[in-house]
Structure 1
Amino acid sequence: MLQPGAFAFRLPENLPFLTLDSLGWTADATAGYGNDGRKRRDQGHAIFQYTLNGTGRIDIGSQTYDVPAGCGFLVKVPSDHRYYYPLDGQKPWSFIWLNARGEDALRMWDRMIERQGPIVRLAAGSLPLTLFWELYRAVSVDRRTDAAELSVMLYKWTLSLLKPDANDTSEDIASAHPAIRQAKTYMQDNFASPLTLEDVASHCGLSRSYLCRLFQRIERDSPLAFLQRKRVEAAVTMLRRTDMSIRSIGTQCGFDSPSYFGKIFRQYLHLSPGEFRKRAAEHPYDVVYLD
């Protein structure tokens, strides 16, 4: 059974990749608890902290945010922030946290903050929290200390926060993905046909509007954009592996006209189909994945 605790790692040298400096689970922060990002000694570090119970508070620049259960924050050291137990707190602040270091940590924190802001909201069963608890178990119970092994787990956790569906719970994902997989498989198998949204939705037993909402929530994309990418991917392979005319390739990949084929191909590859075929030495790929 997992228990609250704090665990730190001291490597003999600073490494450029993402490394775990410390992590923990604090169950009883009260009056007097706090950290000032302008005064801390762990310069060049990146911090994630997430509330399990109670409510904390963080000042970031001129903004003040409450951090109740289900919310967390991302900050770097040094920066203009201060997080603390508020004077009007009603019960102890319980939270989990991790402290990462390395050039990759700073870059990835910048990317996460750019995409979603410094305050994050995560459901209890979301992938980032599931992976955090796996990392916490590895350190606190299994006593794993290998820096490379822990870095792999930390990269996986960090990338999970960058995923479009980071805040979906495992139950949400399990219930939604079968329909998404069915739609994607159908479009991959039938990209040469003049498919419509109604065709795809009908095949999956969904309404057109619900399919679009579901696809957007899980994939952060539209079904037709996915179909378009599959058509361009197929066209790339045919341009490399066959001597078919560009017009014929466009037709066999589901494009209505040569001009539309050229427009969409250029949108993804920044070259016309003819240019891509001629510049094989510069772009020696038989397959290009556009996801």
Structure 2
Amino acid sequence: MIFQDCDIKTNSNGEELAVHGTALLPAACYETNLASKPVSWHWHDEFEAVIILEGTVSLSVGATQVEASAGSGFFINSGMLHSACVIGENGCRLRSIVFHPRLTGGSIDSIFWQKYLLSIIENPSLDVLVLSDDQTWGTDAVKCIAEAWNAAEAEAFGYEFVMRDLLSRMILDIFPHIPPYRSVLSDKTIRNNERMKQMLKYMQEHFSEELTLDEIAQSASISKSECIRCFKNIVKTTPIQYLKQYRIQRAAELLASTDLKILQIGTVCGFQEMSYFARTFREFQHCTPLQYRLKHKKTALQEEHIKTSSISTVP
């Protein structure tokens, strides 16, 4: 199986720790509901092909922000810092395939790599492409992603060939619509992207401690005002607000996956006062920590019951 859990774990530089697939088949399939699991900021060397099954998603890739709804999708280039969240109160289900360029490009000295893949990977103009359902090429690309995902799920004989073929067709569908190669990224933009990775690294290493704006800025050797500008340009929020959001996200993960006491979780996630933790948690999750834990424990039990029921009905 190349299906993997969709929880995002990153290293100290914001790079995702997950190994997507294997050395033999460098691809992995994911399905998630953004209403319960927003995708936090992370990056990886693989391409990511996404289709939207339900709802509307807001995708941030660096300083670029795009939206798309059911029937559409995205192509995210290699090495791009990105995050995603649902728009509106309804759920938003996504399916994605994260795959290394060598799956479709082969070796780096092949014509496929040199003529096509390299033009995508090294194009500073391409961070994300919206695969819109009102464009024929977008619809074709989404269809290829969906069929590749289904092939992986079925695991019929030869599905690896089918996946590679469909993802190659997807690359061919989007290739004529890739922005022209030009040096759109200024030295300042490149520098700010690196600064952002350094600050994310520092915050993720020290989120359980008391952090100040000055300490976050110093981690990238910049002023406090430059730190704020960098966050607002790329992450669209302030450093302190992002830190609160990250802490609550980590707290939510612990509430859903461990039996630690709520007070312990708050402390581990950088909240020294229980009342402040509860208030901040409600601000982001619209419920108390206890309500969140009970809801997600119940959901996990229901999913396990469905799986057990499905197995028991197999003749």
Identify the TM-score tier after normalising by the shorter chain. 0.3 to 0.5
Structure with greater proportional helix content: 2
TM-score by length of 1: 0.42
